[in-house]
Amino acid sequence: MAAVKVLADVDTGVDDALALIYVAWAHRTGRAQLLGCGTVAGNCTVEQATANTLRVLELAGLEVPVARGACRPLAGALRTAPEVHGEDGLAGAGVGPLYRKPSPEHAVDQILRLSRQHAGELVLVATGPLTNVAMALVLEPELARRLARLVVMGGGVRDLGNVTAAAEFNFYTDPEAAHVVLESGVPLTLVGLDVTHQVYVEETDLARLQQVDTPQARFARHLLRFGMEAYRRLGGPARFYLHDPLAAAVALDARWVSGRWVSLSVETRGERTRGMCVADWRRQPEAAVPHGPGWAWVALQVEGRRFVGHFMEELARWARGAGADGPAELAGGRDTRDERAAAHG
Ligand code: RIB
Ligand code: CA
């Protein structure tokens, strides 16, 4: 199977970082060709997301352009998510010297350029607010026909909300951008909470990774344990949802999920429902796909434990394999449990 040509648009945060590691490993093992990354404000500021993305790719031993994108949503105010991802967006590991610089190109220009250079082949995977993607579609509407696929982590049609009762974080942060993307007629695959809430990591899932002692393994364990602790502090069980890694996996192989075409719109005005994904189940999908504006192929089922097992296996392989020539330890790369043990004796 030829390597899938991928451009990632991310708000690197903890699960974006894990998704980037997954794609970087697929790149190094010939299943993907990561052509670049674009960053967008969401989990943290776009400056921090850019620095975090550069750090993760450096640790992954991958040199691809990282282009800074939108610093705020199209219309609303930016509200970052330090309660889940840490103040720096990378579980406290987003500090220390940066050896790589972002590309001078804007993320929107990078989307348009790569979509022209790889017309019909490029898979754009967006795991943050859709601000950059919407801006690119407004600048050049024909982008919708040049992309092979747009895979979005966002929304939800039965499992509606995580940041509010009605809305998922990426769609809540920039509902106007989600509306522009949905109305563009781009061949859209939506990997929303309906499936990402079925794929989560708990302490027992780290066993395979526990056996690896490299800076990469320590960094990955740190991210996962930080995320589990964040969800526990927010009142849930100590588990970390692999929202963005599932979207990345679907971008490389759509067979991870099953679903159907759904007529979709996004609420942009509701006082309690802003950012909500509204599915019109009255409309049955016609035979021809991809549908026009207002339609998305929505992932509805996933074999959660099978995916988590696959993801943790790939992460352990990366941690072993990338360790061979990966750079020095990242600041937060120490194993959280070791730190806890050290702190409490
Ligand atoms: O709702 C989860 C999504 O919002 C993930 O992409 C997470 O990184 C945040 O961006
Ligand atoms: Ca994200």
CA distance 72 to 67: 15
- The per-residue pLDDT for 340 is 37
Work out the number of other CB atoms within 10 angstroms of the CB of residue 173: 30
| Closest ligand relative to 42 C-alpha | 1
pLDDT digits (tens, 9 = 90+) for 50-66: 999 999 999 998 999 99
- The per-residue pLDDT for 218 is 95
| Closest ligand relative to 191 C-alpha | 1
Q: Is 317 helix (H, G, I), strand (E, B) or coil?
A: helix
Amino acid at 153: M
Per-residue buried b or exposed e for 73-98, using 16+ beta carbons within 10 Å of the residue's own CB: bbebebebbeebbbebbbbbbbeeee
- The per-residue pLDDT for 307 is 98
Percent above pLDDT 90 for the chain: 87
- Please give the torsion angle defined by the CA atoms of residues 245, 52, 159 and 280, in that order, rounded to the nearest 10 degrees: -90
Q: How far is the CA of 168 from the centre of ligand 2 (A)?
A: 11
Q: How far is the CA of 310 from the centre of ligand 1 (A)?
A: 21
- Ligand 2 is an ion; its neighbours by CB within 5 Å are 11, 13, 16, 127-128, 244
Q: How far is the CA of 84 from the centre of ligand 1 (A)?
A: 10
pLDDT digits (tens, 9 = 90+) for 222-280: 999 999 999 999 999 999 999 999 999 999 999 999 999 999 999 999 999 999 999 99
| Closest ligand relative to 80 C-alpha | 1
Pocket flag, ligand 1, residue 137 (CB < 6 Å)? no
Cα angle for residues 36, 167, 82 (degrees, 5° grid): 60
Q: Is 240 helix (H, G, I), strand (E, B) or coil?
A: strand
Length of the chain: 345
The whole-chain average pLDDT of the chain stands at 92
pLDDT digits (tens, 9 = 90+) for 298-311: 999 999 999 999 99
Residues facing residue 38 across a β-bridge: 9, 67
Average pLDDT estimate for 165-180: 98
Angle between helix 215-233 and helix 46-59 axes, rounded to 10 deg = 140
Residue 260's region, left for phi above 0, alpha for psi from -120 to 50, else beta, is beta
Catalytic residues: 243
pLDDT at 151 over 50: yes
CA distance 8 to 250: 13
Cα angle for residues 103, 38, 14 (degrees, 5° grid): 115
Q: How far is the CA of 344 from the centre of ligand 2 (A)?
A: 33
pLDDT band at residue 96 using 50, 70 and 90 as cut-offs: confident
Pocket flag, ligand 1, residue 174 (CB < 6 Å)? no
Q: Is 250 helix (H, G, I), strand (E, B) or coil?
A: helix
pLDDT band at residue 341 using 50, 70 and 90 as cut-offs: very low
* Dmax (CA) of the chain: 64
Angle between helix 243-252 and helix 304-321 axes, rounded to 10 deg = 90
Pocket flag, ligand 1, residue 128 (CB < 6 Å)? yes
Q: With beta carbons less than 8 A apart as the criterion, state whether 131 and 70 touch.
A: yes
Amino acid at 112: L
